[in-house]
Structure 1
Amino acid sequence: MIGIVIPAHNEQACLDRCLQSVLAAAAHPLLGGEPVQVMVVLDDCTDASLAICEQHPVQVLEVSVRNVGAARAAGARSLIDAGARWLACTDADSTVPLDWLAAQLAHQADAVCGVVEVDDWSPHHAQVRARYEAAYRDLDGHSHIHGANLGVTSVAYLQAGGFPALACHEDVHLVRALEAQGSRIAWSRSVRVRTSARVDFRAQGGFGSYLQSLSEGA
Structure 2
Amino acid sequence: MSPIAVAVVVPVHDEAALLDACLAALTAAVAHARRTHPGIRVAPVVVLDACTDASEQIARSWPVGIRRIDARRVGTARRRGVEAALAELGDPAPEDTWIATTDGDSTVPLAWLSHQLDLRAAGAEVVLGTVRPDFADLTSAHTAHWLATHPRGRPAGNVHGANLGMSAAAYRAAGGFPDLDEHEDVETVRAARAAGARVVATDVNEVTTSGRFEGRTPGGYAAFVHATHQRISGQVSP
Instruction: Work out which of the residue numbers 106, 109, 120 in structure 1 matches 2:118.
Output: 106
Instruction: Give deviations 1:148-176, integer Å, cap 9, x for gaps.
Output: 00001111101101111111111111111
Q: Distance in 1 between matches of 2:82 and 2:46?
A: 10
Structure 1 residue matching 2:17: 3-state secondary structure: coil
Q: TM-score, normalised by structure 1?
A: 0.92
After the TM superposition, which residues 1-218 of structure 1 pair with which residues of structure 2 at under 5 Å, given as runs? 1-28=5-32, 29-82=35-88, 83=91, 85-108=97-120, 109-122=124-137, 124-136=138-150, 138-140=152-154, 142-216=156-230, 218=233
Instruction: Give deviations 1:2-34, integer Å, cap 9, x for gaps.
Output: 111000001111111111111111112112141
Instruction: Give deviations 1:115-161, integer Å, cap 9, x for gaps.
Output: 12322343x44443344444445435532111100001111101101
Q: Distance in 1 between matches of 2:139 and 2:225?
A: 10
- For the aligned residue pairs, the C-alpha RMSD in angstroms reads 1.7
* Structure 2 unaligned residues grouped into runs of 5+: 234-238
Report the CA distance between 1:72 and its aligned residue: 0.5
Larger radius of gyration: 2
Q: TM-score, normalised by structure 2?
A: 0.85
Structure 1: which 4+ aligned runs deviate by more than 6 Å? none
Greater helix share, 1 or 2?
Answer: 2
Q: Distance in 1 between matches of 2:125 and 2:69?
A: 28
Report the CA distance between 1:56 and its aligned residue: 1.1
Q: Distance in 2 between matches of 1:133 and 1:168?
A: 26
Instruction: Give deviations 1:78-105, integer Å, cap 9, x for gaps.
Output: 2223336111100011111111111001
Taking only the aligned residue pairs, the percentage that are identical comes to 39
The question of whether the paired residues in 2 share the 8 Å contact of 1:115 and 1:138 is answered with no
Q: Distance in 2 between matches of 1:121 and 1:114?
A: 21
Instruction: Give deviations 1:156-203, integer Å, cap 9, x for gaps.
Output: 101101111111111111111111111011111223211110234212
Query: How many equivalent pairs are there?
Result: 217
The question of whether the paired residues in 1 share the 8 Å contact of 2:133 and 2:225 is answered with no
Q: Distance in 2 between matches of 1:128 and 1:205?
A: 19
* Structure 1 unaligned residues grouped into runs of 5+: none
Structure 1 residue matching 2:201: 3-state secondary structure: strand
Give the partner amino acid of 2:220: G
The question of whether the paired residues in 1 share the 8 Å contact of 2:157 and 2:202 is answered with no
